[in-house]
Amino acid sequence: MQSFEEQNLIKECHNGNLDKFGLLYDRYADKIYRYVYYRMRHKEMAQDITAQVFFKALENIKNFNQSKGYFSAWLYRIAKNAMVDHYRVARAHYDIDDLWDLAGGDNPSEEALMKERILKTKELLKNLDAQQREIVIMRTWDDLSYREIAQITGKTEGNCKMIFSRAIAKLRERELVMLVLMGFLTGCVK
């Protein structure tokens, strides 16, 4: 649920006080970046797309209607569309599998372990259809509520819960519980 403070910030932006948008940016920039990065696995592209998301949100803030949904869900929809547009344009230039990189760090063994987990998880998620995969990722990695997922995907909360539940059952049926062992699904069934 949107906080009273967030509703007021949006109202201020609607009234032309766009300086208040910076507070909304501060609240959601990291979440949107992680959402994009988990899907693209390329640091610079995730940064670029995150910037595009907030630029587009700022341009269109007056069109956002609080009575139709959450501001966060609106941002996630913008991010999802920006990624689709990016891949549509870039598809001819490179293979998506080549884009999964890891941010540079000081611990090579930790990076190697993370890369291995990402590759295993990516392989396991291939067993799900695109819709199931997206909902599992939103629920587990992005830590979104079913209500937010429903607003982003245009489905009902009940439908999102059912898709998630069936996806987890499918993974368990195929003995793909390694996701749980890797910590990616910890706490997702609430």
Digitized pLDDT (tens) for each residue of the chain, 190 residues in all: 578 898 999 999 999 999 999 999 999 999 999 999 988 888 899 999 999 999 999 999 999 998 888 999 999 999 999 998 887 776 544 444 444 444 445 567 776 777 777 777 777 778 889 899 889 888 887 888 899 899 888 899 999 999 999 988 887 776 545 544 455 544 444 4
- Residue 140 burial by CB count (10 A; 0-12/13-18/19+): exposed, middle or buried? buried
pTM reported for the whole predicted model: 0.65
pLDDT of residue 168: 83
CB-facing half-sphere around the CA of 59: CA atoms within 13 A: 7
pLDDT of residue 177: 52
* Domains assigned to the chain: 4-90 (1.10.1740.10), 107-181 (1.10.10.10)
